[in-house]
Amino acid sequence: MKTWNFNSKSNPKLIGQKLKAAFGSGSGFVFKMDPGTNDSVTFKVHKSMAAYGYGVLNDIRVNGKLSKTGHKNETKLEISFANHFLTPVHLAIVFVLGLSAIIVGIIHNSNMYLYGGLIFVVGIASWFNVRRKSAKDIEKYKTLISGIIEE
């Protein structure tokens, strides 16, 4: 999970309204906002499963907190980015299947270890692909959120 912290010269409630307008209905995102206490707002953003289908399981979930700082009309933003919770489960299944096939192939003196090695290599390639895609998606979210806030 990666975090991103910065300050903005605006009110937390106003920033929350801007985010809700940008990520609200019809935008392809699911946006949930919870107005907290003491001028703080928490929010969650992710792509809509209805709009993007199964591919959203390899997507980034954004959790944020907007809180008022000691300075007048300034907001502290704490935003964290995480993969969908099923992404590591899918990768673990591929790794376990690959290792199982390798072990079975070695024990039974069959060519099963070749298939297991192939599955394991696919798992490693998928892991690198998820990391690369996550880094690109995080940068897209940072650009999008900073553009919305600074409007």
Note the pLDDT tens digit of each residue in 4-28: 888 888 887 888 888 888 887 777 7
**pTM surpassing 0.75?**
yes
| DSSP conformation class of 9 | S
Spatial distance between the Cα atoms of 97 and 117, rounded to a whole number of angstroms: 10
Q: Residue 128's pLDDT is what? A: 92
SS3 call for 136: helix
Note the pLDDT tens digit of each residue in 25-55: 777 788 888 877 667 888 888 887 665 656 6
Q: Where are the domains of the chain?
A: 2-85
Token pair of 43 as six digits: 């929010």
Strands (E), 59-122: 60-68, 75-83
| DSSP conformation class of 69 | -
Note the pLDDT tens digit of each residue in 71-129: 777 888 899 999 888 888 888 999 999 999 999 988 988 888 889 999 999 999 989 98
Token pair of 59 as six digits: 């997507």
Confidence at 57, pLDDT banded by 50, 70, 90 = low
CATH class of domain segment(s) 2-85: alpha beta
